[in-house]
Amino acid sequence: MRIETRNGTASVFIIDDHPVVRQGLALLIDREPDLKVCGDAADSASAFEGLEALAPDVVILDLSLSGPDGLELLKSIRARYAALPVLVLSMLDESLYAERTLRAGASGYIMKQEATEKVLVALRRILGGGIYLSEAMANKVLHHFAAGSPAAEQSPLAELTDREIEVFRLIGKGQSTREIAELLHISVKTVESYQANIKDKLSLKNSRELLQWAIRSGVTGTEL
């Protein structure tokens, strides 16, 4: 499906909780004759207000938002705006997150470490109805498909559900059980249940090992 744009210019809405990132993307995109940033947001609530008011042609979404992460927001966007293409732009490792975001409804995944020009390539591709992945990730998916095996990652973290990955990421950022519960608007007991499931799936003995794994795993999107 090709997206019909207004006056030949596609409107882009940016969701990222870092003002510098939003400003940098806007400067990059607004130089292009066929692309224009129509608005931005730092969290889920303001994101939906902007999407409703501005009706953009495409969304750029960061996964590492404060509170509920971008993966949950992506699912909500897909449920409410089924035809709206979303490009995920994140520091989080594509080998763990790219396929998850595609399954959740994203049209593309690009890491922030990529050259800025790749963002423009990705935007134009998904506006044209295509899917964008890095060459390495696309080759990996095609290899698994050709071999007739699941395209999921071989990392033990692939066994975690999206919600467990979200809790795991917050653990790695140093959030306590109660803080995670408040951020995700769930009970402490529910967080403890997720933690127990994670430890079981990763064969971890205790909360200390869980924290160490979460820090080392790279799911926080920070360099170690």
Average pLDDT of the chain is 86
Identify any residues that bridge with 40 across adjacent strands, giving them in sequence order: 14
Q: What is the pLDDT of residue 60?
A: 97
At 164-178, the pLDDT tens digits run: 988 998 898 889 999
**pLDDT of residue 149 exceeding 70:** no
At 175-208, the pLDDT tens digits run: 999 999 988 889 999 999 999 999 999 999 999 9
**pLDDT of residue 3 exceeding 50:** no
Q: What is the pLDDT of residue 59?
A: 97
Contact, 117 vs 105, CB < 8 A? no
Mean pLDDT of the 148-171 span: 76
Provide CB contacts within 8 A for 185, sequence distance 6+. 68
**How far is 219 from 180, CA to CA, in rounded Å?**
15
Domains and CATH numbers, the chain: 10-145 (3.40.50.2300), 156-217 (1.10.10.10)
More confident residue, 65 or 73: 73
Segment holding 172, helix H or strand E: helix 162-172
Mean pLDDT of the 64-93 span: 88
Phi and psi at residue 104, in whole multiples of 5°? -80, -10
How many CB atoms sit inside 10 A of residue 80's CB?
11
Mean pLDDT of the 52-61 span: 96
**pLDDT of residue 87 exceeding 70:** yes
Q: What is the pLDDT of residue 146?
A: 62
